[in-house]
Amino acid sequence: MEAPKVKMKWRPGLALVIYTVLLAVMALPVAVIAWFRAVEATSGKMEPAEITALIVALAFTVVVAYVLTRTITTPINALIARTEAIARGGKAEIQPLDRYGTQEIATLSQSFLDLAGKLVDRTDYVRSFAMYVSHELKSPLTAIRGAAELLRDDDADYPMSFPQRQRFLDNIIADAKRLDILLSRLRELSNAELPNVRGQANLEAVLPRLREQFPTLRITAAGLASSSFGLPAETATIVLSNLAENAGQHGATELNIAVAVSEQQVALIVRDNGRGIAPSNWDRIFQPFFSTRREMGGTGMGLGIVRAMLGAYGGTIELIDSEAGAAFALELPKLSETG
């Protein structure tokens, strides 16, 4: 979608407006003096008191003009220049201004810098995400194409044996399934990036779905399971399902979800009794497409989807220490924005 364009027409600059107003203020005492002189028909010579008053008014106007320029015009022009610099130089140009002038301009500048940082990070994310997706799609597509070409070019004089043909067909089916899983994960991630549903849920409402989806896992709850948090039930189910799926894939038979409530947030501590996560992988588990089960069909997108979904609703997730298995701390908003 193309950004809306500002209608181009002549508009006075801020400096012109400020100085015009100040000149009008300055002209007021001059007009008053001229009026009273005309009415009283006094001599054209100005009295010392009148000259002093005009000098004081002029000095006051200059001081006010300097203050307004220093506190309003200069910071706004600097913010405009910083915007153009960020557009040219990217993240390296996201720097605070030398001066802000007023509290409102400082707040505006901070909001702008925060937005610029998010936009630059989003650009970097999309670039790296596109690179990862193209790499992940290329491998199974190459394998499918190679197997299909071998089947197509099978020599009639020396045909493949049935086991060979079956092996190539199995490879095609397996790679097609992997592509299907990958595309499903991409759809989930797309929905996570642009949430269009707001709502509330609680752990009591989500637990039956989890237990039905993962019958081999013993899923239990502790704490205030009836406390509502600012995620729709479907989103909460996807988040916890990804964690439960990871736990099951790493040999877990039990999954416990503990709930703690503060004034602003609901904290979920999700623990399993599986093999856990190797310390060498702690810094990598949230990276897109990182998986320790790639040979078994893992896409490495589950935790990325969880983080994106929680982030879209104002929540966070982090890996925490655990004596056995893996443990994650989820911070969720207590109430949705729409109430």
pLDDT tens digits, residue range 302-322?
787 788 778 777 788 898 888
In the structure, what pLDDT confidence band is assigned to residue 155 with cuts at 50, 70 and 90? confident
DSSP per position, 281-308:
GTTTTTSTT--S-GGGT--S-HHHHHHH
Residue 215 lies in a domain: yes
- The single-letter code of the amino acid at 327 is A
Angstrom distance (rounded) from CA 109 to CA 105:
6
Domain check: are 95 and 147 in the same one?
no
Domain check: are 72 and 158 in the same one?
no
Domain check: are 70 and 187 in the same one?
no
Domain check: are 97 and 136 in the same one?
no
Residue 4 lies in a domain: no
Please state the domain count of the chain: 3
Instruction: Name the CA radius of gyration of the chain, rounded.
Output: 33
Angstrom distance (rounded) from CA 301 to CA 181:
10
Could you tell me what percent of the chain has a pLDDT over 70?
A: 74
pLDDT at residue 91 in the model: 74
CB neighbours of residue 143 within 10 Å: 17
Structural domain containing residue 79: 14-101
Domain check: are 252 and 293 in the same one?
yes
- pLDDT above 70 (res 326): yes
Domain check: are 229 and 307 in the same one?
yes
Contacts of 271 (CB under 8 A, 6+ apart): 255, 256, 258, 322, 325, 326, 327
Domain end among 163, 193, 223: 193
Domain check: are 178 and 222 in the same one?
no
- pLDDT above 50 (res 62): yes
pLDDT at residue 314 in the model: 79
Residue 159 lies in a domain: yes
Q: How remote is the C-alpha of 338 from its chain's centroid?
A: 19
Residue 92 lies in a domain: yes
Task: Determine how β-strand 228-229 pairs with β-strand 201-202.
Answer: antiparallel
Domain check: are 181 and 303 in the same one?
no
Domain end among 159, 193, 227: 193
Domain check: are 32 and 49 in the same one?
yes
Domain end among 142, 171, 193: 193
DSSP per position, 254-265:
EEEEEEEE-SSE
Angstrom distance (rounded) from CA 123 to CA 90:
10
The predicted model scores a pTM of 0.52
Domain check: are 222 and 314 in the same one?
yes
